[in-house]
Chain A
Amino acid sequence: MPGWTSSIKRRAGEVLRLPPDTVEAVARVTIVGDDVMIEGAKALLEVSSDRISCDLGDRVVEIEGESFVIKLVTEREIHAVGRVRHLSFGGGAQ
């Protein structure tokens, strides 16, 4: 059934030309210059001044860089500022 609802949501989003993260429970990782934004995160796994690791639900994003300052941490969002060196997506965390 979750497959059903997700496929219907995806179809609806396509028809209405909405960004996918607004209708589906998918994560959005935005990097603009030195600003890093992770929306729709499930859990913050690890955070330090050179590494942010975050569970997005179906995969894990790992951001490596320098002198990260985390501006905001909430249940769904992580905002950080820092020089990004490397960005990688891993498989499911489970």
Chain B
Amino acid sequence: MSDSRFEWFLNGSVTLWVTGPGARHIVAWLQQDGVVVRDVRFATGGVMLRLGVSALRRLMASRRDFGVRFRVVERHGAPFLARRLRRRKAFAAGALAFVAILYALSSIVWRVEIVGAEGEDQEAELRQAAAEAGLEVGQWKSRLAQPAELAERVVARAPNYVWVGVEVKGSVAVVRGIPKIPGVPQASQTPCNIVATRPGVILDVQASRGRVMVKPNQVVQPGQVLISGLLTDRGPSVPASGSVFAEVWYTSDVSIPLQISTQGLTGASVSREYLAVGGTRLRVWGFQEAPSGVYERDAETDWHIGTWRLPVQWVHATLYEVKPTVWNLDVAAAKQEALVMAASDVRSLAGGDMVILGQSVLQERLERGTLYATILTRVQQDIGAPAPIPEAGEPLKSQGAAQS
């Protein structure tokens, strides 16, 4: 028979206390029978020894032949352990339940970790998408689909993500997402017209979508439809788009004085040094006579002890000579100036891209040294702007109103 310790444990073994006349020789007899014996201890009156269970049966059968009596002192090994467990049912059930519960709890997703989301909204979106795809806290891991398939389902439900990866690590599911970078916003798809924003004469119409309603050299009024979003009377409507260049007239009133008097520095200056004590200033240096008109600039020191500013300070003052200057403009230059002023006025009025086609002086008069002029500026600019398509029946009326 086998004598490895594991097999002894598996099959079970017993420690026996052997007494009787044959006890002295029992080990020798057992050895000659081919029985494995362990842990033999000799004591007065008997022998303590350990036998396998199968050997014990043989010893039971031939105990009279050997002339021995024996008593089982201790049982070892799996069969006896199992019997003890069978007796303590609650304990065995508890041990089984522990293993079962541990296994069950370890096969549940306990945490869904979102990686790569920027901001709470994106994280919530990805979490929501994962939950809809079946990946949420409390879900059985065995119910989850394959990670690749799961990732596909999540990314299909998260429109703001370009890629999603799912990885299940123990009871933690890691959802890794790469958010989409927002691109150029799509042009509005709601049908609309292009209407005129100002009165003008059409120069050129470049429609990229829609039906052109005006021709070059046509006069249009504000609100008139230039490019229609309605392709046919009852047909589909599209968002009209395009550029409508028109000649627009602006009139500006400008006034240019012919004589301008300004004060200017001549460059001459004198300097003074003062000792300022409290509110009064004592002149210490610089006794040159100052010119009649001066502009004074002071530089005061900032002496202080700690945070306390001293009442005694030094002031360096520079007096610059100032003389009035008179500029005289002739009428031609004033007229030129008026045109430039009118152009800048129109530029601020028109807004956006524009080209000045020409300017003409409508009216001018010289009054008390000032040139008053009314100037017409002709400008080429895009006058189109999108506007919603009016309800059926209404467009004719509004168009008529614009043209009248």
- Give B43's nearest chain A residue, CB to CB: A49
Asked if A70 and B27 make an inter-chain contact with CB atoms under 8 angstroms apart, the answer reads yes
Contacting residues, chain A, for B42 (C-beta < 8 A) = 48-49, 68
How far is the CB of B115 from the nearest CB of chain A, in Å?
61
Interface check A73, CB cutoff 8 A: yes
- Asked if B28 and A72 sit within 8 Å, CB to CB, the answer is no
| A71 to B40 CA separation, bound complex (whole angstroms) | 6
Closest chain B residue, CB of each to CB of A80:
B40
Q: How far is the CA of A4 from the CA of B47 in the complex (A)?
A: 44
Interface size on A, residues (CB 8 A): 16
**Contacting residues of chain A (16-62) with chain B, CB-CB under 8 angstroms:** 43-49
Q: Is B24 located at the chain interface by the 8 A CB criterion?
A: yes
A70 near B28 with CB under 8 A, answer no
Residue B284 CB within 8 A of the other chain: no
Establish whether residues A69 and B41, one from each chain, have CB atoms under 8 Å apart when the complex forms: yes
B1-43 interface with A by 8 A CB criterion? 3, 24-25, 27-28, 30-32, 34-43
| Residues of A close to B35: CB separation below 8 A | 73
Listed residue (B34, B37, B41) with the most chain A CB atoms within 10 angstroms of its CB: B37
Closest to B41 in A: A69
Q: How far is the CA of A19 from the CA of B37 in the complex (A)?
A: 28
Contact of A43 among B28, B37, B38, B43 (CB under 8 A): B28
Which chain A residue lies CB-closest to B48? A69
Chain A interface SS verdict (over half)? strand
Give A44 to B35 CA distance when docked, in angstroms. Answer: 12
Question: Is A72 within 8 A of B3, CB to CB?
Answer: yes
Residues of A within 8 A of B41 (CB): 49, 69
> Are the C-beta atoms of A72 and B34 separated by less than 8 Å?
no
Give the chain B neighbours of A46 by CB distance below 8 A: 25, 28
Docked pose: A72 CA to B52 CA in angstroms: 12
* Known contacts A43-B32, A44-B31, A44-B32; is-contact A73 B25 (Cβ 8 Å): no
B5 to chain A, nearest CB (A): 10
Let me know if B37 and A72 touch, CB within 8 A. Answer: yes
- Chain A residues, CB < 8 A from B31: 43-44, 73-75, 78
Contact B39 A45 (CB under 8 A): no
**Is A73 touching B37 in the complex (CB atoms < 8 A)?**
yes
Would A45 and B28 count as touching, CB distance under 8 A?
Answer: yes
The smallest C-beta distance from A41 to any residue of chain B, in angstroms, reads 8
Give the distance in Å from the alpha carbon of A88 to the alpha carbon of B37 in the complex: 25
Chain B residues with Cβ below 8 Å from A78 are 31
Residues of B within 8 A of A73 (CB): 27, 30-31, 35-38, 40
Residues in A with CB closer than 8 Å to B24 are 48
A-chain residues with CB within 8 Å of residue B37 when the two chains form the complex: 70, 72-73
State the Cβ distance, B278 to closest chain A Cβ, in Å. 110
A69 to B36, CA, bound (A): 15
For A75, list chain B residues within 8 Å (CB). 31, 34
Whether B3 contacts A47 by the Cβ 8 Å rule is: no
> How far in angstroms is the closest Cβ of chain A from B19?
15
A78, closest chain B residue (CB): B31
Query: Which chain B residue shows the least CB distance to A45?
Result: B28
Asked whether A69 and B25 contact (CB < 8 A) given A43-B32, A44-B32, A74-B3, the answer is: no
Query: In B69-115, which residues have CB < 8 Å from any A CB?
Result: none
> Considering the chains assembled together, what is the distance between the CA atoms of A49 and B40 in angstroms?
9
* B310 CB to nearest A CB, Å: 101
A48-B42, A49-B42 known; A72+B27 contact, CB < 8 A: no
Contact A47-B36, Cβ < 8 Å, known A68-B42, A72-B3: no
- State in angstroms the CA–CA spacing of A74 and B43 once bound together: 21
Query: Which B residues lie within 8 Å of A45 (CB)?
Result: 28
Seed contacts A43-B31, A43-B32, A70-B27; 7 additional CB < 8 Å A-B pairs: A44-B27, A45-B28, A68-B42, A72-B3, A73-B40, A74-B36, A78-B31
User: Residues of A with Cβ closer than 8 Å to B?
Assistant: 43-49, 68-75, 78
5 A-B pairs in the complex with CB atoms less than 8 angstroms apart: A46-B28, A47-B27, A69-B40, A70-B39, A75-B34
Interface residues of B (CB under 8 A from A): 3, 24-25, 27-28, 30-32, 34-43, 49
